[in-house]
A and B are shown apart, each in its own frame.
Chain A
């Protein structure tokens, strides 16, 4: 038995994040009892987490050139390709924003705990495993590691009853979804004798393709899709999301909406492209594209309609994040026919959405003070007069979520709709998506009008923390920059190679 240690270098982003998580945990446990004063009690852990994420980003970027030819390492379990590296960077950005937002938020609401940063890093490590997984077993372990960390983070605000309730709901539904997924994996393995995505894709070419029409294989595949649909909160598997997003500590919500969702979509893209990429499966009865089209329509429509009715900004953003999953699913449907051309727009969307949604939840985290989270739209009235910079940032982020030019959100939708329109038969789907985007403008602008055109009825006492300010600036400027110069990012994203394709 021997081991090719060159493989370690190829999985460097994962190793860095995992090692960083262990290190932060040990620092937290063994640093004695430092003077936990009002300011910066545990900020060194946040700094350690940020350094880890920066090194991991550097490692991922460094592999970009080499990964043009995709490789499979660790016995075919772990894919190293540009697609995964791009999503890695998106994940690291989402995690870094969550870390930046967390310090001030945890301190303001008096529940600082050092494990927060370790859990974010370990959850990110799980997400990285998930994104690179070229095998259903590795996929499952990655998904569980990520989910478990996020369940704990969701319930970490022990004094908040809603946080515990959110964690309970998220955990029960998530465990149920994992059970569906693992049952699906068992059925797929039982019928094909393999868990490797490339091998599953290879079956389609050989004589084994008949197995992919077997009822048990189709039931198993459907269960896998349902399990993943729970994770990205696609309607009708979304019922946990509004409560979990609303109840979780806001930086955790940002992490959930950004990183967890991006990892879930990356998995769906890889699974469908590599394992189910057979043309006859894509649009036939029971084919995954038609399932995704139905999911996309339901997700967009219900997400937007429910968001319209919300008075709570955080809950509105939660429903809006469900609606955005619907738009990305339009891209996944387009992928069935457009193939590789659809991958760039999906990647661009994931990056744009991560920055925008993490930023907007960041403003929600910023505005609250101890014992008063100020989540109602009325609580935001008159923000522009008192805190013009924050109101401007929120406006930019909301316009991006609504898809206004020249923000990242506009180009994200534009690229997705363009690639969908290039395929015949998807016009109606795109029209539904555009109608939904128009509906969404109402609820995003409702917050903007409250901030700019209404009087404040009580004073603001927002969180004062340099990390949070930095996070908000990075998210807002990033959203604008992606919108002003979208060319090079979409260029980069469209060069993303995928293993086994």
Chain B
């Protein structure tokens, strides 16, 4: 029920409240003495080299898409793991105990799903889509 989320809400309000408070305090109370050094974009303490607006390799995009695909795959594993016990039982679970017998239904359905995605992974691997060589 939604009322169970009251602590979450309170935590959220505290988080947002404190962050805003500190930012506001820093902006209003702190002295501002800007120098060229301070205004420079921070690059690990070194002198900035060139513009930050460089075009990145399309590889980044490719890796991001692959990450997205396998992230979705992982999202599906999550409810499956919760239900695995139930899916592997030929009958109804009696208090988390399966009396009737083991079925490979739950295992097989994720196996098929993963097999297709392993083909995808193998393909991407062979095509050197993962890795920077």
Contact, chains A and B (beta carbon distance below 8 A): yes
A binding-site residues for B, Cβ under 8 Å: 1-3, 22, 25-26, 28-30
Q: Which one, A1, A2, A3, A22, contacts B119 given CB within 8 A?
A: A22
Please provide the chain B residues from 34 to 57 with a CB less than 8 Å away from any CB of chain A in the complex.
none
Q: Which one, A1, A25, A26, contacts B105 given CB within 8 A?
A: A1
Q: Which residues of chain B are near A29, meaning CB under 8 Å? A: 122-123, 126-127
Say whether B123 contacts A1, CB under 8 Å. no
Q: Which residues of chain B are near A28, meaning CB under 8 Å? A: 123
Enumerate 9 A-B pairs (CB-CB under 8 Å) in ascending A order: A1-B89, A1-B90, A1-B106, A2-B103, A3-B105, A3-B109, A26-B122, A29-B126, A30-B122
Q: Which residues of chain A are near B89, meaning CB under 8 Å? A: 1
Say whether B106 contacts A26, CB under 8 Å. no
Q: Looking across the interface, which residue of chain B has its beta carbon closest to that of A30?
A: B126
Contact A1:B126 (CB < 8 A) given known A22-B119, A25-B119, A26-B119 = no
Q: Looking across the interface, which residue of chain A has its beta carbon closest to that of B115?
A: A22
Q: Which residues of chain B are near A30, meaning CB under 8 Å? A: 122, 126
A1-B89, A3-B108 are known; give 18 further A-B pairs, CB within 8 A. Answer: A1-B86, A1-B87, A1-B88, A1-B90, A1-B103, A1-B105, A2-B90, A2-B105, A3-B105, A3-B109, A22-B119, A25-B123, A26-B123, A28-B123, A29-B122, A29-B123, A29-B126, A29-B127
Q: Which residues of chain B are near A26, meaning CB under 8 Å? A: 119, 122-123
Looking at the assembled complex, report how far the CB atom of A490 sits from the nearest CB atom of chain B, in whole angstroms.
Answer: 39
Sorted nearest first, the 10 A-B pairs with minimum C-beta distance are: A29-B126, A1-B105, A29-B123, A1-B87, A22-B119, A3-B105, A25-B123, A1-B103, A2-B103, A2-B105
Looking at the assembled complex, report how far the CB atom of A91 sits from the nearest CB atom of chain B, in whole angstroms.
Answer: 21
B16 in contact (CB, < 8 A): no
B binding-site residues for A, Cβ under 8 Å: 86-90, 103, 105-106, 108-109, 116, 119, 122-123, 126-127
Q: Looking across the interface, which residue of chain A has its beta carbon closest to that of B119?
A: A22
Q: Which residues of chain A are near B106, meaning CB under 8 Å? A: 1
Looking at the assembled complex, report how far the CB atom of B121 sits from the nearest CB atom of chain A, in whole angstroms.
Answer: 11
Q: Looking across the interface, which residue of chain A has its beta carbon closest to that of B109?
A: A3
